[in-house]
Amino acid sequence: MANEERFQQIVDAEEKIEPTDWMPEGYRKTLIRQIAQHAHSEVIGMQPEGNWITRAPSLHRKAILIAKVQDEAGHGLYLYSAAETLGVNRDELQELLHQGKHKYSSIFNYPTLNWADIGAIGWLVDGAAITNQVMLTRCSYGPYSRAMVRICKEESFHQRQGYELLIRLCQGTPEQKAMAQDALNRWWWPSLMMFGPHDSDSTHTEQSMAWKIKRVSNDDLRQQFVDMTVPQANYLGISIPDPDLRWNADRGHYDFGDIDWDEFWRVVKGNGPMNRERVAHKVKAWEDGAWVREAATAYASKKRARTAA
Ligand code: BYC
């Protein structure tokens, strides 16, 4: 049986492809692209929240936020490791991100302006992330699917802490509730954009679904997210900034308004509100950390030399 045919049989049988198995070059490239983008998103995603660690309103909130931001770094590590099993080097991937040749999620190019934004990120951004990532636990590539199991468990804690933060604000003073509303107004549409372009404009969906890298399409996931989130906004008593949002009994889903795709592509192409700052900060952190990498390498070679002696 030809390699290609055998590969597709394994995929169709819902078995996992492992690093030493034969795989089509396009499958390997698609996985490197998606996993690297995902890893970069986790690491760049530390910035908008990290920005609030020193300003968290209590010790309790600060401890939660530090734990969450550390989790994102851990997700980056699991994912870079998964990408390395496909034959790329982690430093190479960093370089591509720093040169603007690799993408990361559009959502992290928006600023965090007030404390309620930390709640909105947990509720909406992590909520959208889980909606997208649960399907990735069933991805055909073993190392990616296994990394996603752990990541999803942690994302679920992240989502809950954000929602709980907003419940507290919405049950607080009118000013606190207004902060929550303001955060929802700014984060709603960018959260819907996280799922990517409409299926009709998605270049990779069809092939990625045939390879069972993606298991559900961008539009179907976006709909799932809207259906899940509207009752949660109702419970908070704040309104989603979409005049076209209404329940459609025939479809059994919420209808919602048009996404501003010009804004989406502007942000994806590097011209969103915070793109330049995010990448510049990342490059500076990489450069500032050079001495740590050098020290670790020197220590490892000293240890190797001692073992060999
Ligand atoms: N932002 O053919 P399509 C997190 C690009 S981290 C930027 O549909 P695909 C968290 C796409 O790459 C969340 N670019 O692509 C962390 C492609 O361009 P290229 C990140 C986007 O890959 C910290 C083009 O548009 N999650 O949750 O089939 C704190 C056409 O799109 C975006 C993941 O990365 C976007 N939103 O589907 C809190 C999950 N959307 O590459 C939370 C894994 C699309 O051809 N990734 N593009 O130049 C995926 O599931 C898929 O890659 C996507 C896109 C659904 C995102």
pLDDT in tens, 35-53: 999 999 999 999 999 999 9
- 171-190: average pLDDT: 98
* Distance from Cα 40 to the centre of ligand 1, integer Å: 11
pTM of this structure: 0.96
Q: Which atom of ligand 1 is nearest to the CA of 208?
A: 28
pLDDT for 145 equals 97
Cβ atoms of residues 48 and 172 within 8 Å: no
CA-nearest residue, atom 48 of ligand 1: 103
125 Cβ contact list (under 8 Å, min separation 6): 45, 107, 162, 187, 191, 194
* Distance from Cα 41 to the centre of ligand 1, integer Å: 9
Cβ atoms of residues 79 and 42 within 8 Å: yes
Cβ atoms of residues 130 and 155 within 8 Å: yes
Measure the CA angle with vertex 16, ends 76 and 8; round to 5°: 120
DSSP 255: E
pLDDT at residue 309 is higher than 90: no
Task: Work out the pLDDT band at 239, boundaries 50, 70, 90.
Answer: very high
pLDDT for 115 equals 97
Strand (E) or helix (H) holding 247: strand 246-248
Distances (CA, A) of 4 to 8, 31, 294: 6, 17, 42
* Distance from Cα 57 to the centre of ligand 1, integer Å: 32
pLDDT at residue 172 is higher than 90: yes
Hey, what's the torsion of the CAs at 189, 232, 196, 263, to 10 degrees? 0
Cβ atoms of residues 238 and 180 within 8 Å: yes
Cβ density class 215-248: b for 16+ within 10 Å, e for less: bbbbbebbbbbbeebbebbeebebebebeebeee
Q: Which atom of ligand 1 is nearest to the CA of 158?
A: 38
pLDDT at residue 34 is higher than 80: yes
* Distance from Cα 108 to the centre of ligand 1, integer Å: 12
DSSP 15: P
Mutation test of ligand 1: which of 30, 78, 79, 105 has the most ligand atoms closer than 8 Å to its C-beta?
105
pLDDT for 87 equals 97
pLDDT at residue 97 is higher than 80: yes
Cβ atoms of residues 143 and 14 within 8 Å: no
pLDDT for 27 equals 98
Mutation test of ligand 1: which of 78, 79, 140, 203 has the most ligand atoms closer than 8 Å to its C-beta?
203
Q: Say what percent of the chain tops pLDDT 70.
A: 100
- 280-305: average pLDDT: 97
- Which amino acid makes up residue 308? A
pLDDT for 1 equals 72
Mean pLDDT of the chain: 97
pLDDT in tens, 141-169: 999 999 999 999 999 999 999 999 999 99
Q: Which atom of ligand 1 is nearest to the CA of 72?
A: 23
Structure tokens at 134: 């649960």
- Pocket of ligand 1 from Cβ distances under 6 Å: 33-34, 37-38, 41-42, 45, 72, 103, 105-106, 125-126, 129, 132, 193-197, 202-205, 208, 214, 218, 268
